Amino acid sequence: MGQKTNPIGNRLGIIKGWDSNWYGGRRFEHKLVEDDQIRKYLNARLSKAGVSKIVIERTLKLVTVTIHTARPGIIIGKGGQEVDKLKEELKKVTKKEIQINISEIKRPEMDAVIVANAIARQIEGRISYRRAIKTAIASTMRIGAEGIKVLISGRLAGAEMARREMIKEGRTPLHTLRADIDYAIAEAHTTYGRIGIKVWICKGEVYGKVDLTPSAESQAAAGAREKSMPPRPGGNRPPRGNRNRPKK
């Protein structure tokens, strides 16, 4: 049987940082449950705002929530009224002091969560799943991704028997730990059942040291990511197999 791991979890501490940053101490489980409550509430409340991920940092008395979104205007609202309302709602959920930061995603086509949710919403709107996937793949590759892979499973197009299909373009090297691969899973709730969508997007390879703190993660990864391989340590020497060896 295949034993597959989450590509993001597999790269934690190497090129990816954590989404929750705090020291738990003896009350670790309470903070973990609280983080889950915050994420579930925000994802339900901001379902139309294109939320990609929610990063939570804690100090002794303050909980800092950073929302990465493709549509910051919906969350901020007119004159920042929506943010203030959201802050008060989270205070009731956590009973702690809350600070909310909004981080805009400049290229939503390169974000696996947003791409997966977009495909799911189109399938719910009775658009052909093949058309939705191929449109998403074309827009992602046009933006500059190295590769994208989409796996869809369920009663596709209302078929009696469930099946799965995979459509991919470019390269998605899951075993290469320095490859910056974004991964997400989404569900489309249709009249004939639930359809699962998995998306893998390869953004290139990360070289050099990466700052894994969530606030600086995107800038560090973007600065360290290079399309070309680094120079060989031996300069312009040819590979070992191609060298002309002296005759005896």
Q: What's residue 59's pLDDT?
A: 87
Residue 26 and residue 239: Cα distance in Å, rounded? 55
Residues 122-145 have pLDDT tens digits of 999 999 999 999 999 999 999 999
**C-beta separation of 10 from 173 below 8 A:** no
**Following DSSP, what letter does each residue of 177-212 receive, concatenated?**
TTEEEEEEEEEEEETTEEEEEEEEEEEEEE-S----
User: At residue 230, does pLDDT exceed 80?
Assistant: no
Checking if the pLDDT of 35 tops 70, the result is yes
Task: Please report the pLDDT score of residue 227 as a whole number.
Answer: 42
Report d(CA 68, CA 49) in Å as an integer. Answer: 10
Query: Is a pLDDT exceeding 90 seen at residue 187?
Result: yes
Burial of 21 (0-12, 13-18, 19+ CB in 10 A): middle
Residues 146/79, Cβ–Cβ less than 8 Å: no
For the stretch 47-96, pLDDT in tens is 888 899 999 999 888 999 999 999 998 898 888 888 989 999 999 888 88
Query: For a pLDDT cut of 90, what percent of the chain falls above it?
Result: 69
Rounded to the nearest 10 degrees, the angle between the axes of helix 81-94 and helix 28-45 is 140
What mean pLDDT, rounded, does the chain reach? 86
d(CA 153, CA 81): 41
